[in-house]
Amino acid sequence: MTYDVALIGTGPEPDNPVWGESAAMAYQHAEGYRARDDCEIVACADLVRENAAAFAAEFGVPDEQIYEDYEEMLAAVEPDIVSISTPVPTHAPIVLDCVASGVPDAVHCEKPMATTYGDARLMAQEARRRDIQLTFNHQRRFSPVWREPKDALDAGRIGELRRVEVGTSTLLDNGTHHIDLATMYADESPVEWVIGQVDYREEHVKYGAHNENQALVQWAYDSGVQGIATTGFGEDGVGVHHRLLGTDGAIEVTPWGSPQARIREDGGDWESLVDGVENTAPVPPAIDHVVECLDAGVEPEISARHALSVTEVVFAAWESSRRRGRVDLPLDIDDNPLEAMVESGVLTPEPAKES
């Protein structure tokens, strides 16, 4: 079987991305589809036609299959798989339109899920209700930098996992990757509660969504594993993207200034676990996973269900700051607490400085 693939939100200038505004991730998605014998890129849509035309030229999409209106594209082309790489506030309406159309069998969307928890929950709900495979691009799960530490953990090399420490720049934008990976290390155990505090003094909007300047967050998995995250601290935070603390040792993943992953077993010295991996965030393996799971009819690791559990931790951390207390899950809000605190004047970030 060959899957017809369409992409929404091609973006401009893939060789010169403007991080925080446009990363042209559609090109990375498309590279994954192009490499597969069972996928054919048949159409693309972007509000800026010249962006879509440039993308079409790169991936051999006929001129008549270039669109500015994605709903028109869905109706005309009827793709089997749709990839979405648009700004965060547009994820929910586009995903929901794709799902409601009844056209694609699978929708693969860039992370993070949405700018409100209500929208994130609705996306997962509607895809499940209509039996459409919905996934989000938490592609780092498929890099050896993060996968091999998981294999070492599963092999019992540091005993039983007790705590996962996370260091990242922001909770929603980059943190969605790293909390997702923390949950992978914790074997997808549900989270019971979250407590957090944030500082937001200078406006920091990435891909259309507010992100705090600094945060300190703690959470507990049902399995008993604890999670802790610092954001915006750099080397002053936990000093590593992930630190896995077990009963018999520790693993550090991309510690500042050290090998990409290292392990210390039962009181011994640090040893390199992973080193020399050039691309730590490869998208094509995630595309492979999306297509293979669709073909096999099994739930992907990066399913909407798993993405929603990560998104719940992020919004619960902001909600904890708003409530000034611990938040027990499931989360019972629909809005975006960080955004709401800005709109109400509880948080008053200064306009971002010109770079």
d(CA 109, CA 126): 15
- Share above pLDDT 90 across residues of the chain, in percent, rounded to a whole number: 89
The model's pLDDT over 295-310, given as tens digits with 9 standing for 90+, comes to 999 999 999 999 999 9
Question: CATH number of the domain that 94 lies in?
Answer: 3.40.50.720
Does 350 map to a domain? no
At residue 26, does pLDDT exceed 80? yes
**Averaged pLDDT score across all residues of the chain:** 95
For residue 197, what pLDDT band results from cuts at 50, 70 and 90?
very high
* Whether residue 92 is found in the same domain as residue 165: no
* Whether residue 33 is found in the same domain as residue 55: yes
pLDDT of residue 186: 98
At residue 355, does pLDDT exceed 60? no
* Whether residue 244 is found in the same domain as residue 256: yes
At residue 353, does pLDDT exceed 80? no
At residue 286, does pLDDT exceed 80? yes
CA triple 210-212-213, angle to 5 deg? 130
Does 112 map to a domain? yes
User: Could you tell me which of 218, 220, 219, 200 has the C-alpha nearest to residue 210?
Assistant: 200
Q: How far is CA 253 from CA 103, 167, 226, 256, 299, in A?
A: 40, 10, 17, 9, 27
* Whether residue 135 is found in the same domain as residue 145: no
Partners of 274 in beta bridges: 261
Q: List the domain range (segments joined by +) for residue 115.
A: 3-139+283-302
Does 220 map to a domain? yes
Does 352 map to a domain? no
Question: CATH number of the domain that 175 lies in?
Answer: 3.30.360.10
The model's pLDDT over 114-160, given as tens digits with 9 standing for 90+, comes to 999 999 999 999 999 999 999 999 999 999 999 999 999 999 999 99
Q: Are the C-beta atoms of residues 85 and 46 closer than 8 Å to each other?
A: no
* Whether residue 174 is found in the same domain as residue 319: yes
Q: Are the C-beta atoms of residues 124 and 299 closer than 8 Å to each other?
A: no
Beta-strand runs (E) in the chain: 3-8, 39-45, 66-67, 81-84, 106-109, 133-136, 161-168, 191-199, 205-206, 209-210, 214-221, 226-231, 240-246, 249-255, 261-265, 271-274, 327-328
Stated pTM of the model = 0.95
* Whether residue 30 is found in the same domain as residue 48: yes
Amino acid 295 reads D
* Whether residue 33 is found in the same domain as residue 131: yes
Query: What is the tally of structural domains in the chain?
Result: 2
Does 353 map to a domain? no
Sole residue written with tokens 């693939």: 5
Chain mean position to CA 127? 18
Does 290 map to a domain? yes
Does 355 map to a domain? no
* Whether residue 197 is found in the same domain as residue 337: yes
Q: Are the C-beta atoms of residues 270 and 276 closer than 8 Å to each other?
A: no
Tokens found for residue 253: 């993943």
Mean pLDDT to the nearest integer, 213-217:
97
At residue 102, does pLDDT exceed 90? yes
Phi, psi for residue 22 in degrees, rounded to 5: -150, 120
Q: Is the peptide bond before 12 cis (omega within 30 degrees of 0)?
A: no
**Radius of gyration (Cα) for the chain, nearest Å?**
20
Does 110 map to a domain? yes
* Whether residue 192 is found in the same domain as residue 332: yes
Across 23-27, 105-109, 263-267, the highest mean pLDDT is recorded for 105-109
* Whether residue 91 is found in the same domain as residue 202: no
* Whether residue 116 is found in the same domain as residue 241: no
120 vs 12, higher pLDDT: 120
Q: Which helix (H) or strand (E) holds 127?
A: helix 117-129
Q: Which residues of 77-110 are buried (b: 16+ CB within 10 A; e: fewer)?
A: bebbbbbbbbbbebbbebbbbbbebebbebbbbb
pLDDT of residue 123: 98
* Whether residue 163 is found in the same domain as residue 18: no
DSSP state of 330: S
At residue 161, does pLDDT exceed 80? yes
Mean pLDDT to the nearest integer, 151-173:
97
d(CA 334, CA 230): 25
